């Protein structure tokens, strides 16, 4: 038997007995899905569908149906070599539980908690002295370090999502004046460097409520942002953004947008 085979055979647990009597109206598919989540969650390196089927005592077609559903809903992600791992939706459910048990938060706590839930670096941005600036940073281990994105950085608003979100709170005339003063430096081959193209980009992103960029500011890095507070007074306009490897933004984009909106709602209540 191979080392992997020995490991799988050792780890094959029989289901733990339940202390409560079993109801007669249980939905078995839900039970199986939860068993899959528990099993995959206990294996940090992930599992193939065949391993999941064996460990959970399922036939292979059933295992495939369950993992595809869980991937679609964000509770699993399909990684390298077809191995499934726990997805970001699990951290959202943990956040739901934690929120019901926690007292009032501060802005810094919301940022730290969001980083802890997702593993990605998060940033707050505001209009400071007429400039779109980074005003708070909480770094996460899953995000590449972008040396420019530190507190006080106020360049490149046209290139990164935090800046795009703040630019979107301005009128076209205000944006035009802002860009005329700051310019549109090319950071990467994908940076938007024409005002008309930026306006088109912002118009599309505004309808979605989340502003994204893929490799426009820093190679290999994607960024997403949403508006926390849009106020007539520019000094009170606030956005939250996060960075991550481009491939993870493509995998987890939908969930990250949901998580950003949730963090924005928490922050809005505090500002």
Q: What is the pLDDT of residue 2?
A: 45
Under the banding of pLDDT at 50, 70 and 90, the label for residue 4 is: very low
Asked whether the whole model's pTM tops 0.75, one would answer no
Average pLDDT of span 192-202:
96
pLDDT over threshold 80, residue 129: yes
Give the domains, in start order, of the chain with CATH numbers: 3-86 (1.10.10.10), 92-270 (3.30.450.40)
3-state secondary structure of 176: helix
Under the banding of pLDDT at 50, 70 and 90, the label for residue 77 is: confident
The chain-wide mean pLDDT, for the chain, equals 86
Gyration radius (Cα) of the chain, Å: 22
Who's near 91: CB < 8 A, 6+ residues apart?
Answer: 117, 118, 259
Q: What is the pLDDT of residue 168?
A: 96
Average pLDDT of span 92-112:
69
| pLDDT tens digits, 134-191 | 999 999 999 999 999 999 999 999 999 999 999 999 999 999 999 999 999 999 999 9
Q: What is the pLDDT of residue 100?
A: 54
Average pLDDT of span 234-245:
95
* 25 or 203, greater pLDDT: 203
Cα-based angle 174, 177, 178 (whole degrees, multiple of 5): 85
* 175 or 7, greater pLDDT: 175
Residue closest to 143 by CA, chosen among 210, 86, 220, 89: 220
């Amino acid at each position: 038997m191979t080392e992997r085979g020995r490991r799988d055979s050792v780890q094959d647990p029989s289901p733990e007995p339940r202390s409560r009597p079993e109801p007669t109206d249980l939905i078995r598919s839900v039970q199986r899905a939860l068993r899959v989540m528990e099993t995959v969650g206990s294996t940090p390196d992930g599992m193939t569908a065949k391993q999941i089927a064996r460990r959970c005592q399922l036939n292979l077609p059933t295992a495939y149906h369950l993992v595809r559903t869980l991937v679609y809903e964000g509770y699993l992600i399909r990684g390298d070599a077809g191995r499934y791992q726990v997805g970001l939706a699990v951290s959202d459910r943990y956040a739901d539980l934690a929120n019901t048990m926690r007292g009032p938060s501060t802005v810094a706590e919301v940022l730290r908690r969001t980083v802890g839930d997702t593993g990605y670096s998060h940033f707050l941005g505001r209009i400071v002295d007429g400039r779109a600036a980074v005003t708070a940073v909480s770094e996460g281990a899953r995000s590449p370090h972008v040396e420019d994105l530190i507190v006080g950085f106020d360049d490149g608003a046209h290139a990164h999502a935090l800046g795009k979100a703040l630019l979107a709170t301005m009128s076209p005339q205000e944006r035009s004046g802002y860009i005329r003063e700051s310019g549109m430096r090319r950071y990467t081959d994908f940076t938007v460097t024409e005002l008309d193209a930026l306006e088109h980009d912002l118009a599309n992103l505004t309808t979605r409520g989340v502003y994204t960029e893929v490799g426009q500011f820093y190679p290999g890095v994607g960024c997403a942002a949403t508006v926390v507070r849009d106020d007539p007074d520019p000094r009170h306009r606030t956005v939250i953004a996060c960075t991550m490897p481009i491939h993870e933004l493509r995998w987890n984009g939908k969930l990250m947008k949901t998580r950003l909106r949730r963090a924005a709602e928490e922050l809005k209540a505090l500002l």
